[in-house]
Amino acid sequence: MSRRWYSLEEAAHLCDLPLRLVMALVEESVIGPVYEGKITGEQLRELRRARRLFALGLNRAGVVVALRLRRQVIALQREVEALRAEMDSLEAYYQARQRRVYRLLSLLGEEENSTPFRF
C-alpha cells in the first residue's frame, strides 16, 4: 500500500493555511510527527479540520484543544468498542458454561430451579 506524503509547503497550500501556522501546529503536535519535512494524508486531513475550525472563529489555542479532544474521543470510542466485544465474548462463554452446568445437573437428577446462581 503506497502512502502519499506532502511537504509542509504543499500541505499549507492545499489547506489554504499560512506555512507559519502549519509549522506552529506541527510544533504543538496537533497533526502528529513530521518525517523529513513531510506529512501523511491523514495529517493533511487534520490540517483541513484545523482550517474549518479557524473558519468557525476559533483561535489557535481553541483549535489545538478541539483537535486533541477529537483524538481522545475517537480513542475512547475504540476502547468502548473493544470492551463491548470482550463483554459479548465473556457473556457467550458464561452462557455456554451455564448450559453445561444445567445439563450436568439434569444428569444428576437436580432441577434447574435449585441452582444457587443466575446469569
Q: What would the CATH number be for the domain defined by 5-114?
A: 1.10.1660.10
- Give the pLDDT of residue 30: 87
- Give the pLDDT of residue 37: 87
Q: What are the boundaries of each domain within the chain?
A: 5-114
| Residue 63: partners with Cβ closer than 8 Å, 6 or more residues away | 25, 30, 50, 53, 54
Confidence of residue 111 (pLDDT cuts 50, 70, 90): low
Of 44-48, 80-84, 94-98, 113-117, least confident by mean pLDDT is 113-117
- Give the pLDDT of residue 26: 92
Report the sign of the C-alpha dihedral through residues 36, 38, 42, 47, in that order.
positive
